[in-house]
Structure 1
Amino acid sequence: MADDGVHFEAGEYWYAVRSKPKKERMAAASLASMHGLDVFCPQIRFRRKTRRGPVWFQEAMFPGYFFARFDMAEMKRAVAYGVGVMTIPLFNNRYVPIPDAVIESIKQELDEGDVVDGGIPLEVGDETTILEGSMRGLKVKVIKVMDAEDRVAVLLEMLGTLVEAEFPTDALEHKPKHRVAKEE
C-alpha cells in the first residue's frame, strides 16, 4: 500500500515510533490509553556514579524509541501526532514493520515491568575482564568488594605472579542478568 508515495504493509504490525527525548514511556502510555494500542517500551536499569555515590537509574533500552502495534492505514495520523511522539521512522521511503518474533525475543529478557538489569554487581569469586587502561582485556578474579568506594580488589597474573590490584567497578565488565531482582 502507499500513502502519499510512502509504502507500508497492509494490516496490523509492530512499528518503531520515535518519541521526544526522555518521553518514551509517556508517549507509549498516551497511545495505549487514548487509542487502545498495544505498546512496548522496554527499559534498562543500571547503576551510575553520582556525587552522592552510586545510584540506580532506569532509562529506555532504545533511547528516543518505543514500539507500537497498529494498522498503518487506520492509525498512522493518530500515532504520528500522539502526545510525546516525534515521528514514525521511514527507511527507504517505507514504514518497515518489526516482526513479532523480534519483539517477543526482547520481551523474553525482561521482567513483568518490561525492565532488564544492565548488569549485576560483581561479587567475590567472579571472573571478569578489565575494560579500560593499559590492562584492557585482561581476565581477573574478584577477591574483595568495597561497596562504599565503588571499587573491587582483583587478582591478576603478571609475569607469572599473582598480583592484587584495585579497580573502580565501572572499569570492569559486569555479569549480565536476565531478570531484575525484586527489591524488598
Structure 2
Amino acid sequence: MLTSTQGSNWYLLQCKPRQDERAQINLLRQNYVIFCPQIVNQRLIHGKPHHSLEPLFPGYLFIQLSRDDKWAPLRSTRGVSRVVDFNHGPAMVPDDVIEHLRSRCFKPSETQPPHPFQPGETLQITRGPLSTLEGIFLTMLGDERVMILLHFLNREQPVRVPLTDIERPWTHL
C-alpha cells in the first residue's frame, strides 16, 4: 500500500549492489511502506520483442517514515546500504515528486483482475522442480510471476515462480 499517512515523509534508501529486490522483500516483511518506480523496457531477443519491468532508479528505493517509526532496523536490513542524506540529515523527497513518479511509471492495467493472493498467504507450487513445496507469498513481479519465500535447506529463500505454477494448498477437514 502506498498511501500517505499523516506526519510521514518519503525518504530515499540506497540498496547494496544488485540487492534491490532483496531489500524490498525484507522491508515489506518488516511492514515498511516502500515505493520502487518501474518502467517497461522493450528489447529485441532473437529478433522478437521482449518486455520486462525494470526499476527506474536501480539501486534505490523510496520509503515512507515518520519521526515515530523505527529507523534503526533500516541499517541492518539485508539488501539496504544506507538512508541517503544531505546536509547531515536524511534526504526528504516531496510528496508531489512521488505522485509524479506514480503517474508516469508502470501501473498494472485496470482492466486486469487483481491477483487473488495477499502478502503472507501460504501458497503451494504445483509444477516444476519445486512442485509440492509450500511458501509464503511476498509480492507480484509484473503480471506473470510472483515472489514467494520458501523454507528449504534450513534457510528462508525468496524464489520467483510463474503465477500459473502456484495455488492455495488444499486443506483437509
State the TM-score, normalizing by the size of structure 1.
0.49
2:26 to 7, 30, 37: 30
1:40 has 2:38 as partner: no
Aligned to 1:21: 17
| Contact 2:38-2:106 within 8 A present in 1 as well | no
Aligned equivalent of 1:66: 61
Larger radius of gyration, structure 1 or 2? Answer: 1
- Residue 25 of structure 2 aligns to which amino acid in structure 1? A
Structure 1 residue identity aligned to 2:72: R
- Alignment partner for residue 101 of structure 1, among 72, 96, 99? 96
1:80 to 1:113, Cα distance in 2 relative to 1, 3 A:
farther
Q: What's the C-alpha RMSD, in Å, of the aligned pairs?
A: 2.7
In 2 relative to 1, CA 105–49 (structure 1 residues): closer, same or farther, beyond 3 Å? same
Cα displacement string for residues 2-60 of structure 1 (whole angstroms, at most 9, x for unaligned residues): xxxxxxxxx531101011233323312321222x1111011111112345654323211
CA distance in 2, matches of 1:112, 1:58: 11
The 3-state SS of whatever aligns with 2:40 is strand
| 1:94-145 C-alpha deviation (Å, 9 max, x unpaired) | 212111111111111234449xxxxxxxxxxxxxxxxxxxxxxxxxxxxxxx
Contact between 1:45 and 1:56, CA under 8 Å: does it hold in 2? yes
Instruction: Please identify runs of 4+ aligned residues in structure 1 that moved more than 3 A.
Output: 49-54, 110-114
Residues 28 and 68 in structure 1, CA contact (< 8 A), matched pair in contact too: no
Report 1:11-160 matches (<5 A): 12-34=8-30, 36-50=31-45, 53-71=48-66, 74-113=69-108
Aligned residues: 105
The residue identity in structure 1 corresponding to 2:86 is F
- Residue 113 to residue 24, structure 1, CA distance change in 2 (3 Å): farther
Structure 1 CA distance for aligned equivalents of residues 108 and 49 of structure 2 = 23
**Structure 2 portions without partners, runs of 5+:** 1-6, 110-142, 145-173
Q: 1:97 to 1:66 in 2, by over 3 A?
A: same
More strand by share: 2
Q: Distance in 2 between matches of 1:72 and 1:93?
A: 16
Change beyond 3 A, Cα 1:67–1:12: same
Equivalent residue letter for 1:49 = L
TM-score w.r.t. structure 2 length? 0.51
CA contact (8 A) 1:14 1:67 kept: yes
How far, CA to CA, are the matches of 1:52 and 1:87 in structure 2?
A: 40
Q: How has the CA–CA distance of structure 1 residues 113 and 86 changed in structure 2, closer, same or farther, with 3 Å as cutoff? A: farther
Contact 1:17 1:65 in 2 (8 A): yes
- 2:38/2:55 contact within 8 Å kept: yes
The answer to whether the Cα contact below 8 Å between 2:43 and 2:50 also exists between their aligned partners in 1 is: yes
